[in-house]
């Protein structure tokens, strides 16, 4: 997804986590944390291909049946489609934020 | 000897018999009688068993004529050959039985045939006499069965009779029944009303902080789903942002105030209190208010007068002064705050926006913020202030007129009092866009507002994740967040399972450079036992 350039500022992630947890962070944990974040942001792009097709087919009907995973952008895009919006509106993102966060509550 | 059997058996036509039968037949008539006396059922059976060839009745029938004559002679052979004959003769001879045992046996046989055994008598009598209470009950039930059926219908019949009798009374009865509940309920209702109403009015009207503190608890109880968030993300965001501001406000001015933008109030009181309104982006507080009313309590502490305005159901506008003096210096007028307010608080509409503008103008005259002179002007707000609000505004900053502000990282403060940056919006936007496109929207664009929302969500996400990680590390007795923690977290998030390892996920989602770093992970994962593994890294990048 990210081209040749650096995907994200590692130090920033580390700082954020450190500030919130008030704990030090082991060396490469931030990568995994960012991975988790990526999953959080993810759409259904990374679901297995057949289920993706299934999703797309269903999206025409605007009835997302296979929502087994709340992923922010995925949900948001589904939401946006249902609302008939062209892009993804902030509203749809906000709508999905809470359930997504809940889903990612450890 | 031999002649007798031969002559007797010859008519039967069986050549083989004579030798066998001979020994028995050789006996004299007396012996035959003795044998007959011996004919107990066992004896007869024994004989039958000994007979090698039971003579078929046909032969007998054919020879029936002559043997019948012999039967008068009652040869033992004739008896033995057919059971029927034996039985007849046995019975006949039993009377003749000499030995007492034989007689007894004969008697018993006859008794059995006659069915005269004492057991039989008992059975018969038993059948007649058996009358258990159950039988009596049965009999009773049979008798009563027809009667009982009518009994069941009787009660409805009684009702019907009642109804028939008292048509008007029924109405009356219904009336009193209804009235009873009414009697009890109305009293309760009155009480309830009295109880319910005062708290609301008190909460809104009174400026007591105690009441508002009650509201805090109420929010936590009532909204459980939100609760989780509020503790982890929302609440902390609130804490981080507002607390420092509040302090500073106390020091500097009372600029930070929750202002009720009630139309009534605006004219009269607000000018003094509301000084800070327009300039600051207080969307966070607004959000907080929407979700829970904790913010009210805190803000209300500072300014009770504003709280009174709540009764009119006006929207809240909180002004949060910049945290740091340095930030204050950077402050620049921004149009954005209004837009943000609109975005974040979609529910609260035009009045809020308009109000702050008006307020700003008034404030400019009335209250001059030492630091915030620039703020009063409607021009773009400082980066710092925007930062204070939420993570949203980097894009705005980039667009903002002053690059130097953009360079500054907006720092938020965690609940531990540590400043932290938010993820650069560019990164977030890139990720979100790619994911949105993969979701099927090939054209998907992410507007600024959307990006703001995503940024906010990601801030909350990081906060939540960090809290969880800290909890795991603490539970493990570590002071450092370890790979095992994040692995545990991802497992608990159901992101990883038996088939999906964090490493496989990373291969899917992360570029190689990061994978290289991750390759370090698996060995360390194996070393889970290792407890105090401190690697402190200073933020290099």
Residue whose pair of structure tokens reads 């503008």 in the numeric block: B357
CB contact under 8 A, B509 and A38: yes
pLDDT tens digits along B282-340: 454 455 454 544 434 444 444 444 444 444 444 555 555 544 444 434 444 444 444 44
Establish how many alpha carbons lie within 13 A of residue B314's alpha carbon, considering only the half-sphere containing its beta carbon. Answer: 26
**pLDDT above 70 for A78:** yes
B contacts of A48 (beta carbons < 8 Å):
none
- Report B:177-206 residues touching A (Cβ under 8 A): none
Is the pLDDT confidence value at B110 over 70? yes
The packing angle between helices A90-103 and B448-475, to 10°, is: 10
DSSP assignment of B384-428 equals HHHHHH-GGGHHHHHHSS-HHHHHSPP-EE-TTS-EE----HHHH
- Distance separating alpha carbons of residues B346 and A91, to the nearest angstrom: 8
Residue B358 vs residue B135, higher pLDDT: B135
Residues in chain A closer than 8 A to B429 (CB atoms): none
Report helix, strand and coil shares of chain A as percent, to nearest 5.
60, 5, 35
Q: Which of A16, A27, A101 sits opposite B535 (nearest CB)?
A: A27
Local structure of B43: helix, strand or coil: helix
Q: What percent of chain B has pLDDT over 90?
A: 2
Separation between Cα atoms, residue B501 and residue B524, nearest integer Å: 15
In this prediction, residue B140 carries a pLDDT of: 87
Question: Distance between CA atoms of B26 and B2, rounded to whole angstroms?
Answer: 8
Q: Which chain A residue's Cα is nearest to B508? A: A46
**A76 band by pLDDT with thresholds 50, 70 and 90:** confident
Is residue B316 classed as helix, strand or coil in its secondary structure? strand
How far does chain A reach from its first CA to its final CA, in angstroms?
26
Secondary structure of chain B: what % helix, strand, coil (to 5)?
A: 70, 0, 25
> Which chain A residues are within 8 Å of B536, Cβ to Cβ?
24
| Coil, strand or helix at B481 | strand
| Chain B residues near residue A11 by CB distance under 8 angstroms | 539-541
Q: Are B385 and B396 in contact (CB under 8 A)?
A: no
Question: Which residue, B299, B286, B219, is CA-closest to B257?
Answer: B299
Cα–Cα distance list, B98 to B45, B105, B318 (Å): 20, 11, 132
CB-nearest partner of A43 from B427, B439, B452: B439
Q: pLDDT digits over B370-398, tens only?
A: 444 444 444 444 444 444 444 444 444 44
Query: In this structure, are residues B273 and B303 in contact, taking their beta carbons and an 8 Å threshold?
Result: yes
Give the nearest chain B residue to A71 (CA atoms). Answer: B435
- Which residues in A lie closer than 8 A to residue B226 (C-beta atoms)? 98
pLDDT band at B30 (very low <50, low <70, confident <90, very high): low
Query: Using 50, 70 and 90 to split pLDDT, how confident is the model at B476?
Result: very high
Q: Binning pLDDT at 50, 70 and 90, where does residue B37 land?
A: low
Touching check for A63 and chain B: CB below 8 Å? no
Phi, psi of B36 (to 5 degrees): -65, -40
Residue B102, helix vs strand vs coil: helix
CB contact under 8 A, B469 and A21: yes
What residue ranges define each of the domains in chain B, with the CATH number in brackets?
3-123 (no CATH), 133-165 (no CATH), 217-420 (no CATH), 434-526 (1.10.20.10)
Look at B36 and B443; give whichever has higher pLDDT. B443
Q: Compute the nearest-CA separation of B263 from chain A (Å).
A: 28
The pLDDT of residue B534 is above 70: no
Q: Is A28 in contact with B453 (Cβ distance < 8 A)?
A: no
Phi, psi of A23 (to 5 degrees): -135, 155
Helix B283-291 / helix B336-344 crossing angle, nearest 10 deg = 20
Query: E strands of B459-500, at which residues?
Result: 480-481
Q: By the CB < 8 Å criterion, does A8 face chain B?
A: yes
Q: Where are the alpha helices (DSSP H) in B206-234?
A: 209-222, 224-229
For residue B440, pLDDT over 50 is answered with yes
Q: Tell which of A1, A2, A19, A91 to mutate to test the B interface (max B CBs under 10 Å).
A: A19
Helix (H/G/I), strand (E/B), else coil: A7:
coil
Scanning every residue of chain A, which has its alpha carbon at the shortest distance from the alpha carbon of B447?
Answer: A89
CA distance A46 to chain B (A): 8
Strands (E) located in B145-246: none
Is there a contact between B492 and A14 if contact means CB atoms under 8 Å apart?
no
Question: What is the band of B215 on the pLDDT scale with cuts at 50, 70, 90?
Answer: low
Query: Are the C-beta atoms of B360 and B379 separated by less than 8 Å?
Result: no
In the predicted structure, residue A31 carries a pLDDT above the cut 60: yes
Nearest to B518 among A18, A28, A103 (CB): A28
Residue whose entry in the numeric block shows the structure tokens 């009684």: B158
Local structure of A25: helix, strand or coil: strand
With CA atoms as reference, report the closest residue to B465 among A81, A9, A73, A35: A35
Residues of A whose CB is below 8 A from B468 = 105-106
Q: Give me B442's structure tokens.
A: 């090939």
pTM over 0.80, yes/no: no
β partners of residue B446:
A88
What is the secondary structure of B326-395 as a DSSP string?
A: HHHHH----SHHHHHHHHH-SSS-HHHHHHHHHHHHHHHHH---SS-HHHHSSSPPPHHHHHHH-GGGHH
Burial class (CB in 10 A: 0-12, 13-18, 19+), A92: buried
Burial track B45-66 (b if 16+ CB lie within 10 A, e otherwise): eebeeebeeebeeeebeebeee
Inter-chain contact A21–B481, Cβ cutoff 8 Å?
Answer: yes
- pLDDT, position A84: 67
Of the listed ranges B142-156, B385-399, B408-422, the least confidently predicted one is: B385-399
Tokens 């999703």 -> residue = A55
Residue B393 contacts residue B340 (beta carbons within 8 Å): yes
Nearest CA in chain B to A95: B453
**What is the length of chain B?**
541
pLDDT tens string B216-249: 555 554 444 444 444 444 444 444 444 444 444 4
Task: With beta carbons less than 8 A apart as the criterion, state whether B476 and B482 touch.
Answer: yes
Cα–Cα distance, B467 to B251 (Å, whole number): 31
Query: Residues A49-71: what's their mean pLDDT?
Result: 41
Q: How far apart are CA B293 and CA B258, in angstroms?
A: 12
Q: What is the pLDDT of residue B398?
A: 40
With an 8 Å Cβ cutoff, is B518 touching chain A? yes
pLDDT at B181: 57
């Amino acid at each position: 997804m990210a081209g040749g350039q650096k995907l994200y500022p590692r130090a920033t992630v580390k700082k954020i986590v450190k500030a919130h947890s008030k704990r030090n962070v082991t060396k490469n944990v931030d990568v995994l944390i960012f991975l988790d974040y990526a999953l959080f942001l993810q759409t259904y792009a990374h679901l297995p291909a057949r289920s993706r097709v299934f999703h797309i087919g269903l999206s025409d009907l605007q009835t997302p049946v296979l929502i087994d995973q709340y992923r922010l952008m995925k949900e948001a895009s589904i939401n946006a489609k249902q609302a008939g919006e062209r892009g993804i509106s902030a509203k749809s993102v906000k709508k999905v934020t809470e359930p997504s966060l809940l889903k990612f509550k450890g | 000897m031999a002649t007798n059997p031969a002559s007797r058996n010859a008519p039967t036509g069986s050549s083989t018999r004579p030798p066998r039968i001979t020994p028995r037949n050789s006996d004299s008539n007396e012996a035959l009688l003795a044998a007959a006396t011996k004919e107990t059922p066992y004896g007869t059976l024994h004989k039958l068993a000994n007979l090698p060839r039971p003579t078929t009745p046909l032969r007998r029938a054919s020879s029936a004529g002559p043997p019948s004559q012999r039967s008068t002679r009652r040869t033992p052979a004739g008896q033995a050959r057919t059971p029927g004959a034996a039985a007849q003769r046995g019975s006949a001879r039993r009377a003749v039985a000499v030995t007492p045992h034989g007689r007894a046996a004969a008697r018993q046989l006859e008794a059995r045939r006659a069915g005269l055994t004492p057991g039989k008598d008992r059975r018969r009598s038993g059948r007649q006499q058996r009358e258990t209470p159950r039988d009596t009950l049965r009999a009773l039930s049979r008798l009563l069965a027809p009667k009982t059926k009518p009994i069941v219908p009787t009660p409805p019949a009684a009702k019907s009779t009642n109804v028939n009798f008292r048509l008007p009374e029924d109405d009356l009865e219904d009336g009193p029944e209804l009235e009873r509940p009414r009697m009890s309920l109305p009293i309760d209702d009155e009480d309830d009303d009295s109880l319910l109403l005062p708290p609301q009015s008190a909460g809104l009207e009174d400026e007591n902080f105690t009441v508002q503190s009650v509201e805090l608890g109420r929010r936590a109880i009532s909204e459980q789903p939100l609760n989780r968030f509020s503790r982890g993300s929302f609440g902390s965001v609130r804490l981080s942002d507002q607390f420092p501001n509040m302090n500073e406000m106390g020091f500097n001015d009372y600029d930070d105030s929750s202002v009720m933008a009630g139309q009534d109030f605006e004219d009269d009181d607000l000018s003094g209190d509301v000084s800070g309104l327009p300039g600051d982006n207080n969307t966070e507080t607004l959000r907080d208010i929407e979700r829970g009313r904790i913010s009210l309590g805190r803000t209300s502490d500072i300014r009770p007068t504003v709280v009174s305005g709540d009764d009119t159901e006006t929207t809240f506008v909180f002004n949060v002064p910049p945290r740091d003096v340095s930030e204050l210096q950077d402050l620049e007028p921004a149009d954005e705050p209004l837009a943000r307010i609109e975005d974040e608080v979609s529910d609260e509409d035009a009045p809020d926006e308009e109000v702050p503008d008006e307020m700003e103008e008034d404030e400019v005259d009335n209250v001059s913020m030492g630091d915030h002179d620039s703020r009063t002007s409607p021009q773009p707000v400082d980066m710092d202030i925007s930062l204070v609000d939420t993570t949203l505004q980097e894009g705005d900053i980039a667009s903002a007129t002053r690059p130097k502000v953009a360079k500054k990282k907006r720092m938020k403060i965690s609940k531990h009092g540590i400043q932290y940056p938010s993820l650069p919006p560019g990164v977030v936007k890139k990720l979100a866009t790619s994911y949105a496109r993969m979701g099927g929207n090939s054209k998907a664009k992410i507007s600024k507002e959307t990006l703001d929302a995503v940024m906010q969500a990601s801030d909350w996400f990081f906060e939540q994740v960090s809290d969880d990680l800290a909890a795991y590390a603490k539970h493990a007795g570590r002071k450092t967040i370890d790979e095992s923690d994040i692995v545990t977290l991802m497992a608990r998030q159901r992101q990883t399972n038996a088939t999906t390892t964090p490493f496989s996920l990373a291969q899917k989602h992360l570029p190689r450079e990061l994978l290289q770093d991750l390759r370090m992970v698996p060995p360390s994962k194996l070393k889970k036992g290792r407890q105090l593994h401190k690697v402190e890294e200073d933020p290099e990048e």
